[in-house]
Every structure is written in structure tokens, then in C-alpha cells.
Structure 1
Amino acid sequence: MENYKRILLIADPSMRRTVAFERAVWLARSSGAALHITLFDRNPLINLAALIDKDRAHAAIDAWLNERLVWLRGEAAELESDGLKVSTDVVWAAPVEDDVLMAIADYDPDLVVKDVHYESRVKRVLLKPLDWQLLRSCPVPLLFAHTFSHAVPSRVLAAVDASLPSKEQKAINQRVIERGLFLARQCKSEFHLLYAFIGPYTPMMPMGPAAAYLSDFYRSVEPAHRRNFTELADAYGVPIECRHFISGPAAQTIADFAREDHSDVLVIGTLRHGLVDRMLLGSTAEAILDLSPCDVLAVKN
């Protein structure tokens, strides 16, 4: 896999060097990639003022954007003095899915980097968070930087689906592993491979006669899952001590393991969703993003 050539950072509108900012800079420096920084922001009060006095509102918008552009250009100049190739852009808009996707299409990056933005439970139910939307729609690998992440990852964890996968699932497993290995080599960090097998998992088991049937079913299919996982790990030369086959519900189990294993980056795959999927409130990938204690690198099939 070739090094990154173009990295797009979605900057925080607070005009500060966040974890995502530092992560994007480090990746650009280590890979030799060009870094483009886009900052989306707007002031709703100025939007309201435009209903009364458009000319003064336009002047206020220009001043608002110029303040952010001056900050970005100052940061870019500092980075360029260290040898990085940096470009900047400021957009008068709240960062919404369409605006971010347009920026991605315009720049055509190999990687997008963004801070994780946590929403309240109520907002997540009533309104899809931007991070969730981008998980589903971003056409290139997307790195969500966690608030408490280390500057340079020392442990990369790739989570795969080793069930009886379709052709599509095999392809996404391959991309997840290859992206994880690439990042681990670039960071000179450990690489670990994980599969969360759904059962048997006691808290999820029903009571009564169905429990025995499901327990027998899980035991009957587990060997096939283990073989699939072993074949995946063998194909990429993952050491035995870096392979983890564990039981439990996918999102919580993966997030818990990442926390206990002190992982710095969790690599996951996201499949393209149809209309029915888009109508649902969430997916495993979205749940993992909410629960993960570390950076999440989402790879599209």
C-alpha cells in the first residue's frame, strides 16, 4: 500500500489545535502527504441579521471568516516552515454531511481526519449526528480522533467479521487488515486482530427451553468462525499472541477489549447501506464510535 498523498483535516471551529489537528499533522509529516485544512463555521446571529440588513450582514460574515482564515494561515505557515505542504479553506456553513462530502470530492484525499463529536442521547435519537452520517457516506478512510488519544499510536487493533462472510464482507475484512497493518508499520506500533463472536454470551441468552437450543447452536457454529478467523490471521502473518477471538455483542465487546488492551487506534469496516438501513437508528459501526475509548479508523468497502 502506498503512503498517503493527500490528507484532509476537518478543523474544529474553536480555532485550536485539537487531537485531530495534531494527528493529521503527524500523519502528513510521517507519510510525506499534502495536508488540506478546511474549517466549517457560521454565526446564527449574523444569519438572522441578514433578514434586516443584508449589506451589514455580508460585512460581518466576511469579518467572521477572515478571523478564522488568519488563524488557519498562521498555523499553515508554521507547519510549512517545518517542511509540510499545507493548504487551507474556510467555509461559511455548519459542518453538515453534504458540505463535508463536497469538500472531500473537491480535494480527493486518501484520508479524512476529524475529531469525534459526542452528542447527547436525546439528540442522537432525534437527529443523526454528523459523525454517524459520515461513517455511512464518506467514500475514503475516515479517522475519528479521540480526546484522550496518544500523540503517536503504539497499538493498532483491527476488528474483523469472521462469520461466514459474503464476497463483500471478505473484501472489507481485507481492507481493514491492510489499513491497520499500514498504520502500524508507519507508526512502528503493535498490530492486533480481533473478532467478537456473538455467542454463547450469558447475558444475551434467553431463559427456558430456547436457551439450551441456542447454546448448542452457538457451539456448533463456533469452530467454523474460529477457522475463518485463523485463516485471516494466517494470511497476514499475525502472531498468535496478537490474535483475539472473544465472545459477546460486537460493539460493546470490541470497545471493552480496546480499553482493556490499551489500544490507540481501532480499525473497523463499514458497509454501504441501503434505504432500509439508513432509516434505522444505528449500526454496529456507529455504536463502536460512541463506545470506543480510542481513535477509530473507519474503512469503507
Structure 2
Amino acid sequence: MLDINHILVVLDSDHPEQIALERALWLARSLDADLTLMTNTYEPHCEEGSALSAIDSNTQLRIKQALLKKADNWINSFVSETSGVNTSTEVHWQKHLHDAVIESMRNKDFDLVIKGTQPHSLVDRIFTHTDWNMLRHCPAPVLLVKNAQPWQHNRILAAVDATAPDQSHDLINDNILSFAEHLADHFDTDLHLGNAYPLVSVAFAMVPEVTAPDDIQSYVTEQHESGCQQWAQKYNIDNDHIHIAEGDTDDVVSEIAARIEADLVVVGTVGREGLAGVLIGNTAEALVDKVNCDVLVIKPQDGVKPDAE
């Protein structure tokens, strides 16, 4: 059985619907896992050094306590929906929700973090959007839920780089496929493998003084086909469940996910930092906005834990 025993559910009071809770409850009941419902609250005037602290520290304390109590009442209002699941709640005094997630994970080892997501703009990404920061920094796999609909097509798509030249990408591929295989086995769903390969002529078009070898595109295609076959054999994926196409990874994987009606896309990220991460982009982050299904994001350290004895 997949060793997901402790699930952190991130609830955002700014969102009208808490779609992550529905998915978390379904998973927890199926996996016999416990849930921790978590949110944040914050008011800068309640911090040390603020104008209010210099004038009336007692009022400042009462405001902070009132805000924490309000957030606590809000998050505990969802506990009645978790019948049959061992559930606890947490409220963190943090300005940003992603910082509250990191703080929560310092106190407990969670096997999975679940959060609802909405479409993001470039401005969101530049100005430290919660989802992007979670994907980069959360020390556990992150499941971003796109809608409250249950998984209904019995298809999981694992997106890998089949010809990754370095050890870190190989590790991510293994982690992606390990999680996808465990989920597929547990929920008795079909496991598919998706891979994109570059259109080499585009790269050579940018340097017209260099002529592309006649057989270079065939060579690249064959390399990806061979790599996909090796990964598929390792994880017992049927040949007709291997999907390979040319183009940018986020475009190819989103097209495959739509065509096979995937319920979940499992993808990896190396979590680029700073402006480079925004402008270059990570496949995982681009995919979140392009697919209509849930996205499970795996990092190099997110290996599948061994089953408990």
C-alpha cells in the first residue's frame, strides 16, 4: 500500500470554495491516513515595532488574539465534514500561506500536502505566489487540486524526461514513476507515460550559420523512444500507454492529458530559484495552468517511503 499516512490540507480563507478538502477526504479514507487542516492569519500592526505596539500594546495583543480565534473558528468549522477521518487543525501567525506550510512541516512529517489552485498570472509568479513557493520549497510532494470533481477516468499520467543526462533528473524520473505506480496500483487505475522531445530544426533555425545534420531529428526521436521503453519496462507500463510527441513539454503533456482524459498528472520540478525560475519557467508550474486535472508535483528528495512494517 502507498505509504501516505499524514496529509496536510492547506485551506485559504480568501477562496470561496475549499476544493482541496474534498480530494483530501477521499484520499484519507482510501489510504487510512489522518488529516491536518491548516490556515494562516496575520496583521502587520500586531508585530513588534509597529506604530500600534508603541502606542497601545494591550490593544495590539487583543487584536492578534481575536484574529487567531476567528481563524481557528473558521478552520474548525470544516471538521464536521471529516467524519471517520482522524483530523486536527492548525492556525499559523504568518503573513504568507506558504510560510505557514513550511512552519507546519517543521513540527510534523507530512507525506503529502494538498491545496486547491486557481489560474495564475505572470504577476502572481513574480510576486511570490503561494503555489509557486510551495512547489519550490515544500519538503513533501504537493498535490494541486483543480476542481472538486472526483477522479473518474481511472488514468494517471506520469510525465518524464526520458533522456535526462544527469543523475538529478534520473532521480526525479524514478520518484515520479514510483509515486504514479503506487497510486495506480492502490486505486486500480491505468498508468500512462508521457514524454516530449524537442523539434531540433527550431534550435538550428536560431543559428542559421550552422547546418543541421540530415538525420539529427530521427536520432533525437529514436533516443526518446528508447528511453521511454526503458522506463516503461521498469514500471510495467503497457506499450499502448506510452505517449511521445515533439514540442514543449508543458504543451505536449497537457495535450496528452486531455486526450487520454487523465485524472492526475504526476510531474517533477527542480525548483529554479529567483528571476530565472520565473522567466525560464518550470514544467510543473506551466502545467498547472494548462491542464484541467489535478497535478502532483515531485522533487528530487520526494522518494516513495518504504511500507511500514
If the length of structure 2 is used for normalisation, what is the TM-score?
0.83
CA distance 1:97–1:16, change in 2 (3 Å): closer
Contact 2:98 2:134 in 1 (8 A): yes
2:71 corresponds, among 50, 68, 91, to 68
Residue matched to 2:88: 87
CA distance 1:55–1:290, change in 2 (3 Å): same
CA distance 1:297–1:62, change in 2 (3 Å): same
Shift of the alpha carbon at 1:242? Answer: 1.2
Contact 2:2 2:186 in 1 (8 A): no
Contact 2:175 2:298 in 1 (8 A): yes
Q: Distance in 2 between matches of 1:257 and 1:211?
A: 33
Pairwise mapping of residues 271-282 of structure 1 onto structure 2 (< 5 A)?
A: 271=270, 273=272, 282=281
Q: Could you tell me which amino acid in structure 2 is paired with residue 23 of structure 1? A: R
Residue matched to 2:220: 221
Gaps of 5+ in 1: none
Shift of the alpha carbon at 1:142? Answer: 0.8
Shift of the alpha carbon at 1:158? Answer: 0.6
Shift of the alpha carbon at 1:218? Answer: 2.2
String of CA shifts for 1:133-191, please: whole Å, max 9, x gaps: 22122221110111x35223532111011014322222211110111122223333222
Residue matched to 1:256: 255
Q: Could you tell me which amino acid in structure 2 is paired with residue 98 of structure 1? A: D
Residue matched to 1:247: 246
* Residues 1:33 and 2:36 are matched in the alignment: no
Pairwise mapping of residues 32-181 of structure 1 onto structure 2 (< 5 A)?
A: 32-43=32-43, 50-51=52-53, 52-79=55-82, 82-125=83-126, 127-146=127-146, 148=147, 150-152=149-151, 154-181=154-181
Residue matched to 1:19: 19
Shift of the alpha carbon at 1:42? Answer: 2.8
CA distance 1:279–1:238, change in 2 (3 Å): closer
Instruction: Supply the RMSD in Å over aligned alpha carbons.
Output: 2.9
Pairwise mapping of residues 275-290 of structure 1 onto structure 2 (< 5 A)?
A: 282-290=281-289
Residue matched to 1:188: 188
Contact 2:204 2:211 in 1 (8 A): no
Contact 1:142 1:297 in 2 (8 A): yes
Q: Could you tell me which amino acid in structure 1 is paired with residue 253 of structure 2? A: I
CA distance 1:43–1:220, change in 2 (3 Å): same
Q: Distance in 1 between matches of 2:137 and 2:70?
A: 31
Shift of the alpha carbon at 1:67? Answer: 2.4
Contact 1:158 1:176 in 2 (8 A): yes
CA distance 1:207–1:104, change in 2 (3 Å): closer
Shift of the alpha carbon at 1:251? Answer: 1.5
Q: Could you tell me which amino acid in structure 2 is paired with residue 10 of structure 1? A: V
Shift of the alpha carbon at 1:14? Answer: 4.2
Shift of the alpha carbon at 1:117? Answer: 4.3
Q: Could you tell me which amino acid in structure 2 is paired with residue 168 of structure 1? A: S
CA distance 1:173–1:39, change in 2 (3 Å): same
String of CA shifts for 1:79-112, please: whole Å, max 9, x gaps: 2xx3211110112223344332121121210001
Matched pairs, number: 296
Contact 2:28 2:85 in 1 (8 A): yes
Q: Percent identity?
A: 29
Q: Distance in 2 between matches of 1:87 and 1:24?
A: 13
Q: Distance in 2 between matches of 1:9 and 1:195?
A: 30
CA distance 1:120–1:281, change in 2 (3 Å): same
Q: Distance in 2 between matches of 1:124 and 1:15?
A: 18
Gaps of 5+ in 2: 301-309
Contact 1:200 1:247 in 2 (8 A): no
More displaced stretch, 254-263 vs 18-27: 254-263
Shift of the alpha carbon at 1:205? Answer: 6.8
Q: Could you tell me which amino acid in structure 1 is paired with residue 92 of structure 2? A: V
